[in-house]
Amino acid sequence: MAETILRADAMLTPNGVVIGAELAFDAEGRITYAGSVRPESAIPSDAMVQDLVGQVLMPGLVNGHTHSAMTLLRGVSDDEGFMPWLAAVQAHEQHLTHEDVALGLQLAMVEMIETGTTAFADMYHWDAELIELVRSAGMRVMAAPATFAPEIVGFPSVSSNNGDDAVAATEALAEQYAGDPQIRIAYGPHAPYTSPPEFLRDIARRAVERGIPIHTHISESAAEVEQILEQYGATPGDHLDSVGLFEAEVLAAHCVHLTDSEIELFARTGTAVSHNPVSNLKLGNGIAKLPEMIEAGVRLTLGTDSVASNNSLDLFEEIKTGTILHRGVRQDAAIVRSSEVVHIATRGGAEALGFAETGALEVGMLADVISLDVTGSSATPFDAAALVSHIGFAATGADVREVFIGGHHVYTDGAHLTLDAAAIRRRAVVAGQRIRAAVVAGAGA
C-alpha cells in the first residue's frame, strides 16, 4: 500500500500546533512525516492524499477505564447513590449472556470510534472470541478478565469461570497475544473490598513473575475506604501495598479518596491512575485529587467508566469536565490546564495502557490519528493557534470525522469501515429490552 498523506488546517504535535499541516504514514502505519504542508514535488507520485479542509488532526483518544459490555445497561438506576446503583446493575448483569457481552462490546466500540477513541482499558469477562472482535474492529485494548475471589463465579450467566479459572484464563490469553500491537492482557482483581488479601497477594506475585499488568478499582467511594479501614486497619492503597500489589505494573481506576501519602506511593511505584470525573460525579462518589496527582508525577489516563455509571463514552466530555471541575472546586483557573488534560487523554493514556508507540503525532510513532471538523457553530470563529483550548473546552465527539488506528482507516465522515453500526444498534435495542423485562419479571416473582 502506498503512503497515505493527510492535509488539514492544523495539527496537534508534541512540539505544538502546526498550522497548514500534513501527516504522512507508510503501509505499516508508521508516521513518516508530521509538519507543514510540503510542496507537491516532495510527495511520492503514488501517495494517497486526503485534503481535510475545515478539519484538524490530533492523536486518537485513550479511554483508561471502562466496562464496555455494560453499554446494554445504559440508563440503569441513573439517580441512585453508589451502593443502590451497584445493586441495580448487578441485578441486570445476572441476565447477560455471552452473546450480550459480545454485542455490548461491539456497541461500545461503535461509540468509542465515532467519538475519537482509538484505545481503551477494560475490565469485564474476556476471552479470545471477544478479543478477536476488538482486533477486527481495529481498536487497541488492555483487556482484564474481572475476578473477585478464588471461588466466586463473576458472571454466572456468561461463563462458569470462578476467580481461579479467570486467573488461569488471563495467563493463557497473555501468552496467546504476547507482542500483539493491538492487545494487552491484564489481571482484573475487581477491588480490595471484593478480593481477599491472599488472592490479591497471589495475583501480585504472578504479575511480577509473568510481566502481566494489573487493572483494578481503588478508593472509588468513601464507603470503600471506611470498609477497608475497618477490615484491615489501613486505607485501600496502603492495604494493597501490604500485599505487594504495587510491585507489579498497576492501572488503578477512580482513586477518588487517596491520601497524600498514597499519592506519593503511587508516584514512587509508577502506578497509573485512571481519572474518571463524570462517573465519579454522577454516582456521588466525590472528586479525585487530580492537581495533587499531576504535581506528584503520578502516571495518569482519563476514563469514562461504563455507560451504566456515565451514559456516554465521549472522552471529550471527560477532558472538559476534568479540566474545569478542579478549577471550580479550588477557585483557581490555573490549577489544571487544558493542555495537561489533553495530554493525559492521549499520550499519557497510551503510556499508561502500555501502547508506547501511540498517543502522539510524530515521526516513528504509529498513526493513531483522528480529525475534527472545525467549521461548526461551536468552533466559529476558529483560531488554529488555540487548537488545544478548542479541544479542551469546545470540541465534542460529534466533531470527529476521520479515524485511523495504526494507519488503518476505520471511520470516515459518519461511516464505520470495520463495524456494522446500524445492525449492532438494532440488536442492542432488542437485547436491552429483553434484559430489562427479565429484571422486572424477577422482581415480581
From the list 81, 119, 116, 64, the residue with the least C-alpha distance to 293 is: 64
Q: What is the mean pLDDT of residues 132-142?
A: 98
What's the rounded Cα separation, in Å, for the pair 378 and 351? 31
Tell me, what's the pLDDT at 445?
A: 58
What pLDDT digit, counting tens, does each position of 99-108 carry? 999 999 999 9
Q: What is the mean pLDDT of residues 209-234?
A: 97
Set of cell numbers at residue 101:
457481552
Q: Which of 217, 209, 294, 219 is nearest to 244 (CA)?
A: 209
pLDDT exceeds cutoff 70 at 359:
yes
pLDDT of 51 reads: 97
Domains and CATH numbers, the chain: 4-59+359-413 (2.30.40.10), 61-353 (3.20.20.140)
Task: Indicate if the pLDDT at residue 344 is higher than 90.
Answer: yes
Q: What is the helix, strand, coil percentage profile of the chain, to 5? A: 45, 25, 35
Average pLDDT over residues 188-208: 98
pLDDT of residue 216: 98
More confident call, 25 vs 439: 25
Distance of CA 423 to the CA centre of its chain: 24
Task: Tell me the whole-structure pTM to 2 decimals.
Answer: 0.96
| Burial group, residue 206, by CB count within 10 angstroms (0-12, 13-18, 19+) | middle
**What is the average per-residue pLDDT within 418-441?**
94
pLDDT, position 304: 98
Q: Which amino acid is at 42?
A: A
Rounded mean pLDDT of 170-176?
98
Q: How confident is the model at residue 444 (pLDDT cuts 50, 70, 90)?
A: low
Could you give the CA distance from residue 12 to residue 360 in angstroms, rounded to a whole number? 8
207-216: average pLDDT:
98
- Residue of 359, 371, 342, 406 whose CA lies nearest to 7: 371
CB < 8 Å & 24+ apart, contacts of 316-320? 316/61, 316/115, 316/116, 316/391, 316/395, 316/396, 316/397, 316/399, 317/278, 317/396, 317/397, 318/276, 318/277, 318/278, 318/345, 319/345, 319/391, 319/392, 320/392, 320/393
pLDDT of residue 1: 60
Whole-number mean pLDDT of the chain? 96
Assign 87 a pLDDT band (cuts: 50, 70, 90). confident
Tell me the CA distances in angstroms from 18 to 14, 41, 56, 287, one per residue in order.
10, 21, 10, 35
Give the pLDDT of residue 209. 98
Count the helices and strands in the chain (H runs, E runs): 15, 17
